[in-house]
Amino acid sequence: MTTAAAKSAACVFCDAFARTDDPLVVFRGTACVVILNLYPYNNGHLMVVPVRHVGRLADLTPGELGELMQLTRVVEMALQEMYQPHGFNMGLNLGQSAGAGVLDHLHMHVVPRWNGDTNFMTVVGETRVLPEDLAKTAERLRPILRRLVAGIR
């Protein structure tokens, strides 16, 4: 088992989790953390990330896997309440050939989508269009996540 502290020097997630005041962290669970994507495709682009530095689903304990999926569910509910998107992209990119930006620390992307959204700008124009600042997103999202998580415990 690799701890977050041991991998801190090389992993953006472990670095963020080691700080108690990281502005992108919107919720800390027992085994997983919900964090805003620093380079989002859309408003509310979040990731649910195990605290333990692991790169594959097969490496997760049953408890970690359960919390990863439970928090992914809660994140979907929170983003639906907050933004009323028309849909979601959710997924894991495992390995470089699959498009993983962080190769060895598993993370579940949750991306709200709207009909006619500007996600194409990232691909075509190498530009991101976000009408809401990440700090504002975090401020609005934290109380919703706390309330929803409290309701399932």
Catalytic residues: 107
> In the chain, how many H helices and how many E strands?
5, 5
State the amino acid at position 8 in one-letter form: S
Picking from 22, 13, 36, 68, the residue whose alpha carbon sits closest to that of residue 3 is 13
92 CB-near residues (< 8 Å, 6+ apart): 57, 106, 107, 108, 109
DSSP E strands, the chain: 25-28, 32-36, 46-50, 87-92, 108-113
List, edge to edge, every strand of the sheet that includes 25-28.
Answer: 25-28, 32-36, 46-50, 108-113, 87-92
